Amino acid sequence: MTLAFIRHGQTDWNFEKRLQGSTDIPLNDTGRAQARDAVSTLEGVDWEVIVSSPLSRARETAAIIAAGLDIELGPAYDELIERSYGEGEGATAEDIALKWPDHQYPGLESLDSVVARGRAALERIDAEYGDRNTLIVCHGTIIRYTLADLAGRPFDQIRNGSVATFERAGEAWRVLSVNDEPLTEFVN
């Protein structure tokens, strides 16, 4: 079974460089185009189903890709919601520099919690979809830190509309690509 994380397309808050987190901001037209563009990146693998976070930007991205690949649009998983940035959500870089220069926003969800949710979602998806090649549309922070945990190494920011592939290797996971680029070496 091959799986792929896809970061949702752009929103107005992404464009404005606002901290988005778990606030439900919809896709903009650029984000819809990014979702359509992801379809060509995904061609060549026999994808069977796509699931997502329940936030509208992820759900719409998943629906666009499902239609483009003519595959099943599966359920939304609460475990895939983006990291909660608490009171920082909606803030610009200038707001953050003034109010929270240490980036410790009141109500901030820990990265350990984000990774635990990401891993729990993968286990649930693996249990429900078995050997089906599955696409998973969610959010930049949960993708970045879940992949880092799986691979045992850090990754840079995850781009809107980009694809990261990985597979089950026994009891472990093996990361194959991030941000549409193959990894040159695997670390488990």
Active-site hit among 60, 82, 89, 109: 82
Active-site annotation holds for 82 = yes
Active-site hit among 8, 79, 89, 139: 8
Active-site annotation holds for 128 = no
3-state secondary structure of 39: helix
- The neighbour count for residue 14, using CB atoms within 10 Å, is 20
User: Could you tell me the residue ranges of all domains in the chain?
Assistant: 2-182
Question: pLDDT tens string for the chain (188 positions)?
Answer: 899 999 999 999 999 999 999 999 999 999 999 999 999 999 989 999 999 999 999 999 999 999 999 999 999 999 999 999 999 999 999 999 999 999 999 999 999 999 999 999 999 999 999 889 999 999 999 999 999 999 999 999 999 999 999 998 888 889 999 999 998 754 44
Q: Please give the CATH number for the structural domain made up of 2-182.
A: 3.40.50.1240
Question: What b/e string do you get for 32-41 counting C-beta neighbours within 10 Å, with b at 16 or more?
Answer: bebbbebbeb
